[in-house]
Amino acid sequence: MKVHNSTIFMGDTGRSERHGNMTADEKKSGSTIFAGSLNKTLDPIAQKKKEARKQAMKIVSDTWAGDKKIDSDLEERRNKIAELRSEIGQARSAINDIEAEREKLREAYGVEADSQEEKDLKLLEKEIDAKIPGSNVSISKEEAEKIEELKAAGLTEYQKRSLEMKEETVYYENQVYEKEKEIEVENAVIRGTRLERLKKDPMVKAQAQAEDILEAASKEIIGMLADEAKEHIDEEMEEKKEAAKEKAEEEKELEEKLEKIKEKKKEREELTEDILEAAGEMVQLDDVQSEVQQEIKDLVSKMKLLEEDIKGAAVDKTL
Protein backbone atom coordinates (compact mmCIF):
# COMPACT_ATOMS: atom_id res chain seq x y z
CA MET A 1 0.00 0.00 0.00
CA LYS A 2 1.31 3.48 -0.87
CA VAL A 3 0.66 6.61 1.16
CA HIS A 4 2.24 9.89 0.05
CA ASN A 5 4.53 7.99 -2.30
CA SER A 6 5.79 5.75 0.54
CA THR A 7 5.36 1.98 0.54
CA ILE A 8 3.81 0.49 3.68
CA PHE A 9 4.13 -3.28 4.31
CA MET A 10 1.56 -4.68 6.76
CA GLY A 11 3.98 -7.22 8.21
CA ASP A 12 7.53 -7.76 9.36
CA THR A 13 10.60 -6.70 7.42
CA GLY A 14 11.99 -10.20 7.26
CA ARG A 15 8.98 -11.62 5.43
CA SER A 16 8.92 -8.74 2.97
CA GLU A 17 12.57 -9.18 2.20
CA ARG A 18 12.16 -12.93 1.84
CA HIS A 19 9.38 -12.40 -0.69
CA GLY A 20 11.48 -9.85 -2.55
CA ASN A 21 8.92 -7.04 -2.15
CA MET A 22 11.55 -4.43 -1.29
CA THR A 23 13.56 -2.90 -4.05
CA ALA A 24 17.13 -1.75 -3.63
CA ASP A 25 16.03 1.86 -4.18
CA GLU A 26 13.37 1.56 -1.48
CA LYS A 27 15.91 0.14 0.96
CA LYS A 28 18.40 2.85 0.07
CA SER A 29 16.01 5.81 0.07
CA GLY A 30 14.18 4.74 3.20
CA SER A 31 10.80 5.29 1.54
CA THR A 32 9.49 1.96 2.84
CA ILE A 33 7.57 2.02 6.14
CA PHE A 34 6.67 -1.18 7.99
CA ALA A 35 3.38 -0.94 9.90
CA GLY A 36 4.56 -3.73 12.19
CA SER A 37 7.09 -1.41 13.81
CA LEU A 38 5.12 1.80 13.20
CA ASN A 39 2.73 1.30 16.11
CA LYS A 40 5.58 0.46 18.44
CA THR A 41 7.35 3.77 17.96
CA LEU A 42 4.84 6.36 16.79
CA ASP A 43 2.16 6.17 19.50
CA PRO A 44 3.59 6.00 23.06
CA ILE A 45 0.32 7.37 24.48
CA ALA A 46 -1.69 4.48 23.01
CA GLN A 47 0.97 2.08 24.32
CA LYS A 48 0.70 3.61 27.81
CA LYS A 49 -3.11 3.23 27.73
CA LYS A 50 -2.75 -0.38 26.62
CA GLU A 51 -0.27 -1.20 29.41
CA ALA A 52 -2.48 0.50 32.04
CA ARG A 53 -5.56 -1.43 30.89
CA LYS A 54 -3.54 -4.65 30.88
CA GLN A 55 -2.33 -4.08 34.48
CA ALA A 56 -5.83 -3.12 35.64
CA MET A 57 -7.36 -6.17 33.97
CA LYS A 58 -4.69 -8.43 35.51
CA ILE A 59 -5.45 -7.15 39.03
CA VAL A 60 -9.18 -7.57 38.53
CA SER A 61 -8.84 -10.98 36.83
CA ASP A 62 -6.39 -12.27 39.49
CA THR A 63 -8.69 -11.07 42.26
CA TRP A 64 -11.68 -12.53 40.48
CA ALA A 65 -9.84 -15.86 40.13
CA GLY A 66 -8.97 -15.76 43.85
CA ASP A 67 -12.55 -14.82 44.65
CA LYS A 68 -13.82 -17.70 42.55
CA LYS A 69 -11.43 -20.01 44.41
CA ILE A 70 -12.89 -18.81 47.70
CA ASP A 71 -16.40 -19.35 46.32
CA SER A 72 -15.39 -22.84 45.27
CA ASP A 73 -13.96 -23.54 48.73
CA LEU A 74 -17.13 -22.25 50.39
CA GLU A 75 -19.23 -24.38 48.08
CA GLU A 76 -17.16 -27.44 49.00
CA ARG A 77 -17.66 -26.68 52.68
CA ARG A 78 -21.42 -26.28 52.21
CA ASN A 79 -21.50 -29.59 50.36
CA LYS A 80 -19.52 -31.18 53.19
CA ILE A 81 -21.99 -29.77 55.74
CA ALA A 82 -24.86 -31.22 53.72
CA GLU A 83 -23.07 -34.58 53.65
CA LEU A 84 -22.43 -34.45 57.42
CA ARG A 85 -26.05 -33.61 58.10
CA SER A 86 -27.07 -36.54 55.96
CA GLU A 87 -24.76 -38.82 58.00
CA ILE A 88 -26.15 -37.36 61.21
CA GLY A 89 -29.63 -38.08 59.96
CA GLN A 90 -28.64 -41.67 59.24
CA ALA A 91 -27.09 -42.03 62.71
CA ARG A 92 -30.17 -40.64 64.40
CA SER A 93 -32.36 -42.87 62.31
CA ALA A 94 -30.28 -45.82 63.54
CA ILE A 95 -30.71 -44.59 67.13
CA ASN A 96 -34.46 -44.28 66.65
CA ASP A 97 -34.60 -47.81 65.23
CA ILE A 98 -32.75 -49.15 68.29
CA GLU A 99 -35.06 -47.23 70.63
CA ALA A 100 -38.06 -48.67 68.79
CA GLU A 101 -36.62 -52.20 69.25
CA ARG A 102 -36.11 -51.47 72.94
CA GLU A 103 -39.72 -50.37 73.22
CA LYS A 104 -40.84 -53.59 71.60
CA LEU A 105 -38.57 -55.49 74.00
CA ARG A 106 -40.26 -53.76 76.96
CA GLU A 107 -43.67 -54.73 75.64
CA ALA A 108 -42.50 -58.25 75.01
CA TYR A 109 -41.36 -58.60 78.63
CA GLY A 110 -44.57 -56.99 79.83
CA VAL A 111 -42.79 -54.22 81.73
CA GLU A 112 -44.96 -51.25 82.40
CA ALA A 113 -43.58 -47.80 81.55
CA ASP A 114 -44.17 -46.51 85.06
CA SER A 115 -42.92 -49.64 86.84
CA GLN A 116 -39.96 -49.61 89.27
CA GLU A 117 -38.07 -51.94 86.93
CA GLU A 118 -38.39 -49.40 84.14
CA LYS A 119 -37.45 -46.54 86.47
CA ASP A 120 -34.36 -48.41 87.60
CA LEU A 121 -33.50 -49.04 83.93
CA LYS A 122 -33.74 -45.31 83.20
CA LEU A 123 -31.26 -44.62 86.03
CA LEU A 124 -28.89 -47.25 84.63
CA GLU A 125 -29.26 -45.65 81.15
CA LYS A 126 -28.26 -42.33 82.66
CA GLU A 127 -24.85 -43.76 83.51
CA ILE A 128 -24.39 -44.65 79.84
CA ASP A 129 -25.58 -41.24 78.61
CA ALA A 130 -23.14 -39.49 80.95
CA LYS A 131 -20.28 -41.10 79.02
CA ILE A 132 -21.44 -39.72 75.66
CA PRO A 133 -19.52 -36.50 74.69
CA GLY A 134 -21.75 -33.46 74.56
CA SER A 135 -24.68 -35.17 76.27
CA ASN A 136 -24.61 -32.72 79.19
CA VAL A 137 -25.77 -35.61 81.40
CA SER A 138 -24.26 -35.88 84.87
CA ILE A 139 -24.85 -38.27 87.78
CA SER A 140 -25.19 -37.13 91.35
CA LYS A 141 -23.58 -38.91 94.29
CA GLU A 142 -26.88 -40.41 95.40
CA GLU A 143 -27.57 -41.63 91.85
CA ALA A 144 -24.13 -43.22 91.59
CA GLU A 145 -24.70 -45.08 94.92
CA LYS A 146 -28.14 -46.28 93.75
CA ILE A 147 -26.66 -47.57 90.49
CA GLU A 148 -24.04 -49.54 92.39
CA GLU A 149 -26.79 -51.04 94.60
CA LEU A 150 -28.79 -52.12 91.52
CA LYS A 151 -25.76 -53.74 89.98
CA ALA A 152 -24.93 -55.50 93.22
CA ALA A 153 -28.50 -56.82 93.56
CA GLY A 154 -28.41 -58.03 89.96
CA LEU A 155 -30.25 -56.80 86.86
CA THR A 156 -33.28 -58.42 85.34
CA GLU A 157 -33.09 -60.15 81.97
CA TYR A 158 -35.07 -57.32 80.40
CA GLN A 159 -32.77 -54.69 81.93
CA LYS A 160 -29.65 -56.49 80.68
CA ARG A 161 -30.89 -56.86 77.10
CA SER A 162 -32.25 -53.31 77.02
CA LEU A 163 -28.92 -51.90 78.29
CA GLU A 164 -27.02 -53.93 75.67
CA MET A 165 -29.18 -52.31 72.99
CA LYS A 166 -28.63 -48.93 74.64
CA GLU A 167 -24.85 -49.47 74.34
CA GLU A 168 -25.31 -49.85 70.59
CA THR A 169 -26.71 -46.32 70.42
CA VAL A 170 -23.54 -44.91 71.97
CA TYR A 171 -21.62 -45.42 68.70
CA TYR A 172 -24.23 -43.48 66.74
CA GLU A 173 -24.49 -40.82 69.45
CA ASN A 174 -20.72 -40.30 69.18
CA GLN A 175 -21.06 -40.07 65.39
CA VAL A 176 -23.72 -37.42 65.75
CA TYR A 177 -21.59 -35.46 68.22
CA GLU A 178 -18.42 -35.58 66.06
CA LYS A 179 -20.24 -34.67 62.86
CA GLU A 180 -22.06 -31.82 64.56
CA LYS A 181 -18.68 -30.52 65.69
CA GLU A 182 -17.39 -30.73 62.13
CA ILE A 183 -20.44 -28.79 60.99
CA GLU A 184 -19.73 -26.13 63.59
CA VAL A 185 -16.13 -25.85 62.32
CA GLU A 186 -17.24 -25.60 58.69
CA ASN A 187 -19.90 -23.01 59.54
CA ALA A 188 -17.34 -21.02 61.53
CA VAL A 189 -14.96 -21.00 58.53
CA ILE A 190 -17.80 -19.95 56.22
CA ARG A 191 -18.89 -17.17 58.56
CA GLY A 192 -15.31 -16.00 59.03
CA THR A 193 -14.70 -15.96 55.28
CA ARG A 194 -17.91 -14.04 54.64
CA LEU A 195 -17.12 -11.53 57.38
CA GLU A 196 -13.60 -11.08 56.04
CA ARG A 197 -15.07 -10.54 52.62
CA LEU A 198 -17.43 -7.92 53.92
CA LYS A 199 -14.55 -6.14 55.66
CA LYS A 200 -12.08 -6.21 52.78
CA ASP A 201 -14.26 -6.94 49.75
CA PRO A 202 -11.34 -7.97 47.47
CA MET A 203 -13.25 -7.22 44.27
CA VAL A 204 -13.97 -3.67 45.43
CA LYS A 205 -10.33 -3.30 46.48
CA ALA A 206 -9.17 -4.70 43.14
CA GLN A 207 -11.51 -2.36 41.31
CA ALA A 208 -10.10 0.55 43.32
CA GLN A 209 -6.54 -0.55 42.51
CA ALA A 210 -7.45 -0.85 38.83
CA GLU A 211 -8.96 2.63 38.91
CA ASP A 212 -5.82 3.96 40.61
CA ILE A 213 -3.67 2.44 37.87
CA LEU A 214 -5.87 3.92 35.14
CA GLU A 215 -5.93 7.29 36.90
CA ALA A 216 -2.14 7.29 37.27
CA ALA A 217 -1.82 6.34 33.61
CA SER A 218 -4.23 9.12 32.69
CA LYS A 219 -2.16 11.64 34.62
CA GLU A 220 1.00 10.36 32.97
CA ILE A 221 -0.67 10.54 29.56
CA ILE A 222 -1.79 14.11 30.30
CA GLY A 223 1.82 14.91 31.17
CA MET A 224 2.98 13.28 27.95
CA LEU A 225 0.41 15.27 25.99
CA ALA A 226 1.49 18.45 27.76
CA ASP A 227 5.14 17.74 26.97
CA GLU A 228 4.21 16.95 23.41
CA ALA A 229 2.17 20.14 23.15
CA LYS A 230 5.01 22.15 24.70
CA GLU A 231 7.47 20.57 22.31
CA HIS A 232 5.13 21.33 19.43
CA ILE A 233 4.72 24.94 20.61
CA ASP A 234 8.48 25.27 21.02
CA GLU A 235 8.96 23.93 17.52
CA GLU A 236 6.36 26.35 16.19
CA MET A 237 7.97 29.23 18.06
CA GLU A 238 11.36 28.24 16.69
CA GLU A 239 9.91 28.02 13.21
CA LYS A 240 8.28 31.42 13.68
CA LYS A 241 11.57 32.86 14.91
CA GLU A 242 13.34 31.39 11.89
CA ALA A 243 10.60 32.73 9.60
CA ALA A 244 10.80 36.17 11.24
CA LYS A 245 14.56 36.11 10.91
CA GLU A 246 14.30 35.14 7.24
CA LYS A 247 11.66 37.83 6.71
CA ALA A 248 13.87 40.44 8.37
CA GLU A 249 16.77 39.37 6.18
CA GLU A 250 14.55 39.55 3.10
CA GLU A 251 13.31 43.01 4.12
CA LYS A 252 16.89 44.11 4.68
CA GLU A 253 17.88 42.78 1.27
CA LEU A 254 14.87 44.56 -0.23
CA GLU A 255 15.81 47.82 1.46
CA GLU A 256 19.35 47.46 0.16
CA LYS A 257 18.02 46.85 -3.35
CA LEU A 258 15.70 49.85 -3.06
CA GLU A 259 18.63 51.95 -1.83
CA LYS A 260 20.69 50.84 -4.78
CA ILE A 261 17.80 51.61 -7.12
CA LYS A 262 17.48 55.05 -5.55
CA GLU A 263 21.20 55.64 -5.98
CA LYS A 264 21.05 54.52 -9.60
CA LYS A 265 18.03 56.71 -10.16
CA LYS A 266 19.87 59.66 -8.65
CA GLU A 267 22.89 58.92 -10.79
CA ARG A 268 20.66 58.74 -13.86
CA GLU A 269 19.00 62.02 -12.88
CA GLU A 270 22.39 63.68 -12.39
CA LEU A 271 23.59 62.25 -15.69
CA THR A 272 20.49 63.49 -17.40
CA GLU A 273 21.05 66.97 -15.99
CA ASP A 274 24.66 66.88 -17.21
CA ILE A 275 23.53 65.75 -20.64
CA LEU A 276 20.88 68.45 -20.82
CA GLU A 277 23.39 71.08 -19.69
CA ALA A 278 25.94 69.87 -22.20
CA ALA A 279 23.28 69.86 -24.88
CA GLY A 280 22.39 73.43 -23.96
CA GLU A 281 25.99 74.44 -24.15
CA MET A 282 26.28 72.72 -27.50
CA VAL A 283 23.24 74.60 -28.78
CA GLN A 284 24.79 77.83 -27.63
CA LEU A 285 28.07 76.83 -29.25
CA ASP A 286 26.26 76.11 -32.46
CA ASP A 287 24.71 79.57 -32.37
CA VAL A 288 28.13 81.16 -31.79
CA GLN A 289 29.64 79.08 -34.55
CA SER A 290 26.86 80.19 -36.88
CA GLU A 291 27.50 83.82 -36.05
CA VAL A 292 31.26 83.37 -36.50
CA GLN A 293 30.73 81.59 -39.74
CA GLN A 294 28.42 84.40 -40.89
CA GLU A 295 30.97 86.97 -39.90
CA ILE A 296 33.66 85.02 -41.73
CA LYS A 297 31.48 84.84 -44.71
CA ASP A 298 30.84 88.52 -44.51
CA LEU A 299 34.55 89.18 -44.07
CA VAL A 300 35.35 86.94 -46.97
CA SER A 301 32.83 88.76 -49.04
CA LYS A 302 34.36 92.03 -48.04
CA MET A 303 37.80 90.69 -48.73
CA LYS A 304 36.67 89.56 -52.12
CA LEU A 305 35.39 93.04 -52.79
CA LEU A 306 38.64 94.48 -51.57
CA GLU A 307 40.52 92.08 -53.77
CA GLU A 308 38.57 93.20 -56.68
CA ASP A 309 39.22 96.77 -55.76
CA ILE A 310 42.89 96.03 -55.55
CA LYS A 311 42.80 94.27 -58.84
CA GLY A 312 41.00 97.29 -60.37
CA ALA A 313 43.51 99.73 -58.98
CA ALA A 314 46.32 97.74 -60.47
CA VAL A 315 44.71 97.93 -63.83
CA ASP A 316 44.25 101.58 -63.51
CA LYS A 317 47.96 102.00 -62.78
CA THR A 318 49.00 100.14 -65.86
CA LEU A 319 46.93 102.29 -68.00
pLDDT at 1: 44
The C-alpha angle 292, 295, 296, rounded to 5 degrees, equals 85
- pLDDT tens across 215-256, in order? 787 777 777 777 777 777 778 888 888 887 888 888 888 888
The C-alpha angle 181, 184, 187, rounded to 5 degrees, equals 150
One-letter identity of residue 304: K
pLDDT at 118: 95
pLDDT at 18: 45
DSSP 132: S
Q: Which helix (H) or strand (E) segment is 34 a member of?
A: strand 32-34
The proportion of the chain whose per-residue pLDDT surpasses 90, expressed as a percent, equals: 35
pLDDT at 119 > cutoff 50 = yes
Helix axes 116-129, 157-200, angle to 10 degrees: 40
pLDDT at 26 > cutoff 60 = no
pLDDT at 46: 81
pLDDT at 33: 44
Of 42-56, 85-99, 192-206, 281-295, the poorest mean pLDDT is in 281-295
Higher pLDDT, 260 or 20: 260
Mean pLDDT for 84-97 is: 97
- What is the per-residue burial (b if ≥16 Cβ within 10 Å, else e) of 294-313? eeeeeeeeeeeeeeeeeeee
- What is the per-residue burial (b if ≥16 Cβ within 10 Å, else e) of 135-168? eeeeeeeeeeeebeebeeeebeebbebbbeebee
Q: Quick check: 14 and 182 in contact, CB under 8 A?
A: no
Spatial separation of the C-alpha atoms in residues 199 and 208, rounded to whole Å: 15
Q: Is the dihedral of CA 290, 292, 293, 299 positive or negative?
A: positive
Helix axes 44-109, 202-318, angle to 10 degrees: 170
Please state whether beta strands 6-9 and 32-34 pair in parallel, antiparallel, or not at all (unpaired).
parallel
pLDDT at 318 > cutoff 60 = no
Of 131-135, 147-151, 214-218, the poorest mean pLDDT is in 214-218
